Chains A and B, each alone.
Chain A
Amino acid sequence: MNQKDVAISVQQFAIFVSFYIIGSAVILIPSLLIIQAKQDAWVSALLAMVIAVMLTFGYGKLIQMFPDKTLIEMNEAVFGKWIGKAISLLYVTYFVFLTALVTRTLGDFMVTQILVQTPMEVIHLLFLLVGVMGVRLGLEVLARTAEIFFPPVLMFCILVILFLLPNYEVENFQPILENSILSIWKGTWTFLGIPIFDLIVLLMITPYIKKEERPRLQRGFLIGTIGGCAVVSIFLVLCLAVLGVDFTSRNTYPTYILGKRIAIGHFLERIEGIVAILWVMTIFFKMTICYFASVLALAQIFRLRDYKCLILPLCYTIMVYSIISIPNMSYFRMIALHYWTFYVAIFGAVFPLLLFFTAKFRQLSAKKEQ
């Protein structure tokens, strides 16, 4: 089976992008950002959104240069066989690590808030097994699944926003811009690490977008990015407005607490379970896309005809990695706050820039190949 026969539409891609940004960021970002930028965290989020849009244009340029190539194939085409493969292998470690971390995010969340006595391994296993199924069935099925889940996710997001209306307190934002530019930038920097720079992973699936829809790809990418960032930012603002600076920064999963705060009269309450499902859904797509990218990247590096034989072995790797990569909660928060973005920036900014300029320099592009 030639994998490039698979085709998804731009609309499906845009939904992927949105889910990809929302998943895991929406439960991690509010408290991480508010710790750093206090009541001005929304400024950090807006700033990050602007950078995300710029980044989307940058990635769009790369896609335009090599519309039929995945990131891994681009590396090889531009840097040559050996250096290209070496960089690609680095990318594979990053993809696998990211998949493991996303899985772990979900595991930690479930074990802290909902299934307290359940071993995290069980949650990871069940979650990954669904991922295995998704990746085996291929990109088209995943894309259609995302399309089906999109309306309910959107609807619940809007409902949560509306149901919380009675609890908004504008005072929580005052005084505006009290904190230094540095602390606001620190918040933005964290947001860039989770999840903006991760968008590079999506370059693994752009070649599968239908040929006739390619001209609209840039627009779809942009809409997806803005939509995803907007949802995360809105929930960040909700946390600020409803829970306040102090409470949000002290809580591990403030967006879940938001669900607990919903109480319309005495009948519409205790719906935090639904809010949790919302996040699980989006995290699932982020995990599966990363998983798919890891499998595909590895297959392309070693020029395998079919990537399916890699699915299960990688599942074991991710499973183990998701458990051992983070010893405890405070380690995770330390990494996320201080180090993670530097690591991701290498893959999300440095290598793509290098790729872009080397390609320009060597005057390689799709046109010339033809």
Chain B
Amino acid sequence: MILMYRVSVFLALVMCICLMSGCWDRRELNDLAVASALGIDKSKNGYLLTAQVINPSEVAPLASSGKKTTVSILQASGGTIFEALRKLTRQSSRKLYLSHIRVIVFGERAAKEGLRKPLDFLSRDHEMRADFYILIARGTRAENILKTLDPQENIPANAMFLSLETSEKSFAATVVKEIDDLITEIVSDGQDPVITGIKVTGREEQGMSMEENLKKVEAPVRLNLNGTAVFRDDKLVGWLNDSETKGYNYATGRVKNTVGNIACPNHQGNMAIEVMRTDAKIKGKVKNGRPIVDIYIELEANIGEVECDIDLMNLSTFTKLEHMLNKQSEELIDMAVDKAKEFRSDIFGFGNAIHRSDPKGWAQVKHHWRDRFPDTKVNVHVRTKLQRTGTITESFQKENVK
């Protein structure tokens, strides 16, 4: 009896070995081609998919030979993104692994034709995570962006990802956009998306070569975040410049930290003001059939640079500067709002704001919101709190004047 028991336990354990030998879907690291970025362009009969794939041996600090590039490019076109993606295997010894994608770049033409269709796969596939950023190749094709090597980062996609993140945090002229938010904004009646643009400066062919681009102190070709693409629904309709983007970021409360210049009160030079913290609220309602939106913004700022002779120890100077800052931020926002109205694209989510605080009013304007949006009355209220002056108080510019 005990023997029987032991035999059966033994058999059970042996069976466990068969069942638990590993995961059915296991994929070993050395079978994977880890994609760091995807580029999506329009092609004749669908999409041209460009994948930037990491060469693991070159990225590893000790094993790298320095002779090969750290990434290689795979390209295929297909009627759908998924098909194009699987077609890539014809060029690659390994199957593409998508979980580590940092950025996805859309070509400008593809963006003009609409993002709705290509986004479906990116949101449906189980391997895609939602933590990558989306960029628009400004004035060029996405493939050219992916083919450019970066002198600072081993993996160009990382360079794009990090520079987007850093510039959003400390300059606020870019907009970090993840796929979930993008889709929500496209689908939403009361908001349209914006996406940061990226550009290649210099001759594009040079940027693809290690010899020409990476072995020089000043790389001739660089990737440059440039402007913000405005969408109507899912189609690119125009671009915001840096100050308009800043205005957009102020109004939507995305500014974490930025620097702005204002002219000195006595017009001798400029002052740089560092914005440390912002808080924005958008309230909307419909009054007599006309949409009215109030934007309330609170800024906390410090003085960062002074080129002129002003009395910083005087309280009234501070009040004056605060007034100037209020006015300047209001102008920035007005600029952005005017541009958005020109494009008939509700990038600020005024529609959603009205929906939130005045559901009945929203029901009136909802169905022709696209046409009603341009005659929205927008009131901007900025309150700046200027706080510190940095490590010194009085500027020594005074002495110069003597």
Q: A residues within 8 Å of B by Cβ?
A: 112-118, 122, 126, 171, 174-175, 178, 243-244, 246-247, 250, 257, 260-261, 263, 269-270
Contacts and interface: CB of A to CB of B under 8 A. Distances in A.
Q: Which of B23, B180, B187, B359 has the most CB of A within 10 A?
A: B180
Given A115-B24, A122-B24, A246-B188, A178 B359 contact: yes
Contact of A261 (B23, B123, B130): B130
Given A115-B24, A117-B25, 10 more contacts: A113-B126, A116-B25, A126-B19, A178-B359, A244-B184, A246-B183, A246-B187, A247-B184, A250-B123, A260-B130
Dominant SS among interface residues on chain A = helix
B183 A247 contact: yes
A110 B387 CA distance: 54
A127 to B, nearest CB: 12
Given A174-B356, A174-B357, A269-B131, A116 B184 contact: no
Contacts of B356: 171, 174-175
Q: Which 9 A-B pairs have the closest CB atoms?
A: A174-B356, A118-B24, A175-B359, A117-B25, A178-B359, A115-B25, A246-B184, A246-B187, A175-B356
Nearest to B354: A175
Contacts of B23: 115
B25 A243 contact: no
Interface of B: 19, 23-25, 123, 126, 129-131, 180, 183-184, 187-188, 352, 355-357, 359
A112 B188 contact: no
A235 B353 CA distance: 25
A171 B253 CA distance: 13
A178 B366 CA distance: 14
B183 to A, nearest CB: 7
B24 A175 contact: no
Contacts of B359: 175, 178
Contacts of B180: 243, 247
B359 to A, nearest CB: 4
A112 B125 CA distance: 9
Nearest to B178: A261
A40 to B, nearest CB: 12
Given A118-B24, A246-B184, A112 B126 contact: yes
A27 B355 CA distance: 29
Contacts of A261: 130
Contact of B130 (A117, A118, A257): A257
A126 B187 CA distance: 40
A9 to B, nearest CB: 30
A112 B24 CA distance: 14
B36 to A, nearest CB: 16
A250 B23 CA distance: 29
A17 to B, nearest CB: 32
Given A174-B357, A244-B184, A263 B24 contact: no
Contacts of B24: 115, 117-118, 122
Q: Which of A174, A243, A269 has the most CB of B within 10 A?
A: A174
A171 B180 CA distance: 16
Contacts of A114: 25, 126
Contacts of A113: 126
